[in-house]
Amino acid sequence: QVQVVESGGGLVQAGGSLRLSCTASGLPFGDYVMGWFRQAPGKEREGVSCISTRAISTRYADSVKGRFTISRDNAKNTLYLQMNNLKREDTAMYYCAAGRAPFCFASWTVPANYMGQGTQVTISS
């Protein structure tokens, strides 16, 4: 049984930082492209960042480039998202997802194989 569980969300002031974590079990973690997506109230889900199976390649949405950093530890089956200089528009539910190529890198809309329940990130002014 595959489980994808996000953690690390919370309430922070604008300009602050958070680090999200995602632990996946029941799947060969190192064989999956991993990604972060987010959905704000009243908006569609959008892609935030992707990382290739061996962390050689990454992709970021224009809105987070230079502020967010994605990483993974295949030995720990864990994905991370370091978020710095947070803005109010980063407020959203953040989801971790796993997929086989061409997931995430070809298009944000390629469906994931697995996705977690999300962790809420709220940025206050």
Q: What is the pLDDT of residues 83-118, one digit of tens each?
A: 999 999 999 999 999 999 889 998 998 889 999 999
Q: How many CB atoms sit inside 10 A of residue 88's CB?
A: 11
pLDDT in tens, 41-64: 999 999 999 999 999 999 999 999
pLDDT of residue 79: 98
Using a pLDDT cut of 70, give the percent of the chain over it.
100
- pLDDT for position 101: 84
Q: How far apart, in whole angstroms, are the C-alpha atoms of residue 42 and residue 68?
A: 23
Q: For residues 29 and 42, is the Cβ–Cβ distance under 8 A?
A: no
Q: What distance in Å separates the CA atoms of residue 93 and residue 2, rounded to the nearest whole number?
A: 21
> Do 96 and 36 touch, CB atoms closer than 8 A?
yes
Mean pLDDT of the chain: 97
Q: How many CB atoms lie within 10 A of CB 16?
A: 14
Separation between Cα atoms, residue 91 and residue 87, nearest integer Å: 8
Q: How far is CA 82 from CA 35, 42, 74, in A?
A: 13, 25, 17
Backbone angles phi, psi at 100, to 5 degrees: -90, 150
